[in-house]
C-alpha cells in the first residue's frame, strides 16, 4: 500500500459530501464529478471522484498519459481506484479572473486553443472546457485543468461559445472586465438552459 492509498482509506464521501478526511488534507476545489485536495508538503493534488463517478478516475488517468505531461496541462503522477494525483497549480481560474477583474487577454485565449489543438492531434475530443477548467498561473502561463471528458464522442461547443462572447463583448474596451458572482452564475445558468445562443466566430 502506497502513501496515497493510505490517505484514500481515511477519506469518506457520500454523494458529493466529504464526511471525513485527514486533518492535513485541504479541499481546494470541487466539480461535478470530483473533489480536489492539496497534498501536504508536496506540490501535488489528489483528485477524488464521487462514488457515482469512480469509474472516471482510470479514464482520466489514461487521458493524461495520452497527453504525455504536455506543458499546457497539469503533470500526471499516478492514478488508482477512484483517484488521480496531479501537479498542484498556483493561480486563478478564468472564472475567478472575471470575479476579481483580472483581464483575460487574447494571448491567454490563444494558449487555450494551443492546448486543445494538441489534444486533438493526440486523437482526443476536447470537451467541457469552460471558465472553471482553465487557469491563469501566477507565472503568467495558462493551463487546461480538467480533461476527464476528452474522450466523449459528442461535440462540445463550450470553448468556442466562450470565444464568441469574448470577441463580441468582453474584448471591447468599453465592456466591463469585473463582474459579481451572481451575475456570472446567472449567465452560466441561462447558457446551460439554452436561452443564450452564440454563433461561431468566423
Q: Which residues are catalytic?
A: 128
b/e string for 92-117 if b means 16 or more Cβ within 10 A?
bbbbebbbeeeebeeebbebbeebbe
Percent helix, strand, coil in the chain, to 5, is: 35, 20, 45
* Whole-number Å distance between alpha carbons of 119 and 145: 13
Residue 21 near residue 37, CB atoms below 8 Å: yes
Residue 18, number of CB atoms within 10 A of its CB: 17
Residue 114 near residue 67, CB atoms below 8 Å: no
Cell of 74: 497539469
- Report the DSSP beta bridge partners of residue 47: 36, 84
Amino acid at each position: 500500500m502506497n502513501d496515497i492509498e493510505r490517505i484514500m482509506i481515511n477519506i469518506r464521501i457520500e454523494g458529493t459530501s466529504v464526511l471525513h478526511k485527514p486533518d492535513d488534507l485541504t479541499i481546494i476545489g470541487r466539480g461535478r464529478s470530483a473533489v480536489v485536495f492539496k497534498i501536504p508538503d508536496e506540490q501535488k493534488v489528489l483528485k477524488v471522484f464521487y462514488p457515482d463517478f469512480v469509474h472516471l478516475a482510470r479514464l482520466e488517468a489514461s487521458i493524461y498519459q495520452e497527453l504525455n505531461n504536455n506543458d499546457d496541462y497539469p503533470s500526471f503522477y499516478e492514478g488508482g481506484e477512484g483517484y488521480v494525483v496531479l501537479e498542484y497549480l498556483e493561480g486563478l481560474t478564468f472564472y475567478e479572473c472575471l470575479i476579481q477583474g483580472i483581464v483575460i487577454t487574447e494571448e491567454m485565449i490563444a494558449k487555450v486553443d494551443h492546448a486543445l489543438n494538441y489534444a486533438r492531434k493526440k486523437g482526443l475530443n476536447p470537451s467541457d472546457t469552460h471558465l472553471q477548467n482553465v487557469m491563469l498561473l501566477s507565472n503568467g502561463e495558462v493551463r487546461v485543468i480538467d480533461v476527464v471528458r476528452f474522450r466523449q464522442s459528442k461535440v462540445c461547443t463550450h470553448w468556442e461559445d466562450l470565444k464568441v462572447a469574448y470577441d463580441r463583448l468582453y474584448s471591447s474596451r468599453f465592456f466591463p472586465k469585473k463582474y459579481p458572482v451572481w451575475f456570472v452564475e446567472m449567465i452560466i445558468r441561462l447558457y446551460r438552459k439554452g436561452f443564450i445562443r452564440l454563433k461561431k466566430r468566423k
